[in-house]
Structure 1
Amino acid sequence: MEISTREVFGAPCWVSLMTRDLGTAQHFYGAVVGWRFRPTRLGEAFSVAFQGRVPVAGIGALAADLGVAAAWTPYFAVDDADVAVDRIRERTGTIAVGPVSFDSGGRAALVADPDGAVFGIWEGNVEADWRVGRGPSPAWLELRTRNALDAAIFYGAVLEWATGRAGCCEVSYEEDQVVLRQDGEPVARLNSGPVEMASYSPHTRPRWHVHFRVPKLRPAVEAAVSLGGRPVSDVTSNALERWVTLRDPDGALFTLTTALGSDPD
């Protein structure tokens, strides 16, 4: 079942990985998070990851000679891609690609905020079952940037957060984080921290980061390491969950998380 982005405007509606070796990425994430893959109408260079019957993420192959780092990118729902792109330009963001029209009737653009964090916008239909924090979709999204409050102002203006419009996402400031909620449930966090604006390392520059839920943390990390991934952080925990950040074989960063109590290791 699909719904229009007009019904979930401003909310994250998809995540996508661009990588240099589609087959290696499919094998890696299939073993680590249990996904299966199906081709798309976009050709052999693209596939959709499924967990059970639910689509979870998109994976596409970068051209070998393209000097772009492999990375996960979140997409946010918008009413009108042209209007959103104009808002981004007006607020000193960058338009990398688009808006591009697809056979499905949707339109997308790949963009960056004023600090260089890359994200996408999507106008069209989205999977009704795809919802951050629920089911097999990402557990949550995180923006790591210089100033979370400044970032919230930018994204709020572009994506119509906290505007009072019926159905909009709400924003609050909690424990030194800006928290984005959709229908009262947290879907993204914006964090201030030490980032290097001129750095070519995706681990230190401003960026969006995706957290995927797994039943057991240790087996997932062991599978990742056995297939060429590597942890880049210690295992961390709070009152609710445990998590660790890794790089996949092509260098794309992501975090695995599991509910505290479900993973005694």
Structure 2
Amino acid sequence: MTDARGSDSRFGETNARRAPGTPCWVSLMVHGPAATHDFYGALFGWEFRPGPQQLGPYARALLIGREVAGIGQLPPDRQLPTAWTPYFASDDVNRTAETVRLCGGTVGVGPLDAGEAGRMALGSDPAGAVFGIWQAAAHLGTAVAGVPGTPVWNELLTYETARVAKFYETVFGFEPVPDASPGRDYVTLHLDGRPVAGIHGTGEALPRDRGPHWMTYFEVADTDESAARLVELGGHVLSPADDTPHGRVATVADPEGARFALLAVRH
């Protein structure tokens, strides 16, 4: 992974309309939203307020009074795995959705209007990883960055990078930059010369029950303390905290099994 913030400003460009392709929002669909609100509220200090209801009960998480992420409720008859989903900005969600289809992906939801907030679609890449497309209107996306409790990076875990990197390059205009390290299958996706997301080819090491999927990294002040707190709240540590060139990282899951990462950024 790579530090994608560009600066430590808490607001900065998060208040501006994003360039197409920019990761602009993360959302989680769960079976028990009330318990999930309690979990993330205690872990990250989030508060919640109602959001667009076009996809059923949905709430926006706030930090410092600013929107950070969304949590919605899965239909009770759908036994889908819970997962954090990144949304990428688009000037025309209909056109982007059509490009997804033409490039071998699928569009499972939408495009549809989310009230006055904007227009969205959910798609999956050729390997099956789910992502969102967001055409902003009143809601521009995550409005605070660079502080604990905010998304700091999105990384795709998949079988191999070459095919899916080409897909995301065509759909969103990313410039794929492969890692030159021997034996490492990793591509950083750049937009306007800036790293915005990553693709990690893991071969057959993906969890069988999960398959290719996007992983959201949330910034924390202390990875070990946050991981311990997460366990107290009913979450699980999947990969213990480890030091990396970008900071100390732990891979974890919430009580419903949604995987994400805790990252104390190295300054």
Select the residue among 35, 51, 56 that pairs with 1:40: 51
Q: Distance in 1 between matches of 2:266 and 2:117?
A: 41
Q: Distance in 1 between matches of 2:118 and 2:191?
A: 22
Partner of 2:161: 148
Is 2:202 the counterpart of 1:227?
no
Counterpart of 2:247, as a letter, is E
Select the residue among 18, 21, 26 that pairs with 1:10: 21
Is 2:177 the counterpart of 1:172?
yes
Counterpart of 1:50, as a letter, is L
Q: Given the superposition, is the C-alpha separation of residues 86 and 233 from structure 1 closer, same or farther in structure 2, using an over 3 Å criterion? A: same
Shift of 1:2: 5.3
State whether residues 248 and 264 of structure 2, in contact with CA within 8 Å, keep that contact through their aligned partners in structure 1: yes
Partner of 1:115: 127
Counterpart of 1:23, as a letter, is A
Q: Distance in 1 between matches of 2:141 and 2:117?
A: 17
Is 2:37 the counterpart of 1:26?
yes
Q: Given the superposition, is the C-alpha separation of residues 38 and 191 from structure 1 closer, same or farther in structure 2, using an over 3 Å criterion? A: same
State whether residues 196 and 206 of structure 1, in contact with CA within 8 Å, keep that contact through their aligned partners in structure 2: no
Shift of 1:180: 2.0
Select the residue among 127, 145, 161 that pairs with 2:174: 161
State whether residues 32 and 221 of structure 1, in contact with CA within 8 Å, keep that contact through their aligned partners in structure 2: no
Q: Given the superposition, is the C-alpha separation of residues 247 and 114 from structure 1 closer, same or farther in structure 2, using an over 3 Å criterion? A: same
Q: Given the superposition, is the C-alpha separation of residues 173 and 198 from structure 1 closer, same or farther in structure 2, using an over 3 Å criterion? A: closer
* TM-score (structure 1 length as normaliser): 0.85
Counterpart of 1:16, as a letter, is S
Partner of 1:186: 195
* TM-score (structure 2 length as normaliser): 0.84
Q: 1:216-241: CA deviations, max 9, x gaps?
A: 12221122111211101122212331
State whether residues 25 and 141 of structure 2, in contact with CA within 8 Å, keep that contact through their aligned partners in structure 1: no
Partner of 1:212: 218
Q: Distance in 2 between matches of 1:24 and 1:72?
A: 16
Counterpart of 2:50, as a letter, is P
In the alignment, structure 1 segments of 5+ residues that lack a partner are 163-170
Counterpart of 1:116, as a letter, is G
Q: Given the superposition, is the C-alpha separation of residues 197 and 257 from structure 1 closer, same or farther in structure 2, using an over 3 Å criterion? A: closer
Q: SS where residue 246 of structure 1 aligns?
A: strand
Select the residue among 70, 92, 102 that pairs with 1:58: 70
